[in-house]
Each structure stands twice: as structure tokens, then as C-alpha cells.
A = this chain, B = another copy of it.
Amino acid sequence: MNSKFQNISVEEIERRLKDAGVNPTTQRIAIFKYILCDADHPTADQIKSWADKNFPKVSLATIYNTLNVLVDAGLLRELNLPESDSVVYDKTLSEHHHFLDQQTGHLIDIEGDQIRVELKLKRQLKISEMDILLRGTQN
């Protein structure tokens, strides 16, 4: 386990798209596969750079369209981190949080079971979601 990058066949990618109600076009398959297998929290721009090297032509509009389609279908999540002006896309769908290495800029997934949060709220709040961003350095 624990290899950050996995190998998923094109057929499997197609199946996942279809199951989510997304028409599996060439561009969508390529972009989704790239994000699932070869990328780590990429930005639209990073995806565009990769696409430019690996495809005859993919427009930036299509990158954004596709990302929005994938997010809306629940196949990706978008993260808006304070330190960056651009959204990063997250393939991990399970509840999890993030650690930002302040030296390298790397973003690391922290699974939900690694953080226990105890709320002693003064107000009566019904919490439906919680985003935690840790910052620091790695030994």
C-alpha cells in the first residue's frame, strides 16, 4: 500500500465516469486518469501543462469544464487553500484533512481517523462539515 500513485485502466476510468453519470469523452478520460493515477492535488494549470505534452490539443476551457463536471459528479473535490490563488483538485473522496509542508509546499492527506476533534461549543451549532488544515514541517 501507500504508493501515492496507482494504476487504473482506461476501462475502469470509463466505468467510473459512466457510473457517475458523466459521458466518458476522450478528454475527460485522459484528464480524470491523469488526476487519479499520476497527479497529486494538481491545479488546473498543472493539468493543462501535462495535457499540452500528451495531447494534440486540449483547451484550457475544457480543462476547467471537465474539472467542474467531475467535481459536480462527486468524482473529485476541490480545495481552496489559503496559500494559493488557484484551486487544487483532490482525488480522495473519503473524509480527510490536509497537512501543508511549509518548506516544500507539498500537501499531504491526513485521514479522518488520525484526527480526533472534541467540540465544547458555547453556542448551539449543528456542525455538518469540518475542514482542518495543518501546517508545519516534516522530519
**What residues of B have a CB within 8 angstroms of the CB of A108 in the complex?**
123, 125
**What residues of B have a CB within 8 angstroms of the CB of A139 in the complex?**
124-126
Determine the main DSSP class of A at the interface with B.
Answer: strand
* Total copies of the chain: 2
21 of the cross-chain contacts (CB-CB < 8 Å) are A79-B82, A82-B131, A99-B125, A99-B127, A113-B120, A114-B120, A115-B118, A115-B119, A115-B120, A116-B117, A117-B117, A117-B118, A124-B138, A124-B139, A125-B139, A126-B137, A126-B138, A128-B136, A130-B135, A131-B135, A132-B133
Question: What residue in chain B is nearest A100 (Cβ atoms)?
Answer: B129
Q: Does A59 contact B (CB under 8 A)?
A: no
Q: Does A80 contact B (CB under 8 A)?
A: yes
The answer on a CB contact under 8 Å between A118 and B120 is: no
Nearest Cβ on chain B to A131's Cβ, whole angstroms: 4
Nearest Cβ on chain B to A101's Cβ, whole angstroms: 8
Q: Does A62 contact B (CB under 8 A)?
A: no
